[in-house]
Structure 1
Amino acid sequence: MAWFLNFYRCDTCGRIWTGEWSCTCDDECPHCEARDMSPFDSENLTDIVAKDADGFIAFRSSDSAEHDPDYREVGRFPTREQAEEFLVSVDTA
């Protein structure tokens, strides 16, 4: 399932916050509780690459993710570039 880090700016109080969701959805301002704030930017976190002692691990948010990304390891690689290329090459569905 897709996973996003959404960036919000409140139209009422002007404060900025972030929220992780499975879509680029509207959110409520945690400062003044104004509703229906749309993200002004989003970062796709469906796939991530993490360094470990032996190289790099590719992770993908599981299809069953609902309230958190529930990342699953999908491969280990000697370089970050190989991990990123693998994630691009495999089906995200």
Structure 2
Amino acid sequence: MAWFLNFYRCGRCRRIWTDEWSCTCDDECPRCGFRDMTPFNSEDLTELIVEEGGKFAVLRSSDEAEDDPDYEELGRFPTRDAAKEFLGDHQPD
């Protein structure tokens, strides 16, 4: 399932906040409660490459993810370039 980091700015109090979710949905301002704020930007976090112990792990948000990404490891690689190449060639089931 897709996973996003959404960036919001309140139309009433101008507060800026972020929220992670499985879509780029509207949100409510955590400061003043103003509703239906649409993200002004979003980062796709569905697939990640993270460095762990000198290797580069490729992670993908689980198809069953609902309230959190529930990342599954797809593989570990000796270099970031090898991990990127794997992601470019790998198709989800």
TM-score (norm 2): 0.94
Give the fraction of aligned pairs with identical amino acids, expressed as a percent: 62
Q: Which residue of 1 aligns with 2:77?
A: 77
Q: Which residue of 2 aligns with 1:67?
A: 67
Which structure 1 segments of 5+ residues have no match? none
Which structure 2 segments of 5+ residues have no match? none
3-state secondary structure, aligned to 1:88: helix
Q: CA offsets per residue over residues 22-52 of structure 1, 9 Å max, x none?
A: 0000000001000000000000000111112
3-state secondary structure, aligned to 1:87: helix
Structure 1 runs (4+) greater than 2 angstroms displaced = none
Cα RMSD (Å): 1.1
Q: CA offsets per residue over residues 54-84 of structure 1, 9 Å max, x none?
A: 4111000000000000000001101011112
Report the AA paired with residue 63 of structure 2: D
How many residue pairs get matched? 93
Deviation at residue 21 of structure 1 after TM alignment = 0.3
Report the AA paired with residue 9 of structure 1: R
CA–CA distance in structure 2, aligned partners of residues 90 and 23 of structure 1? 22
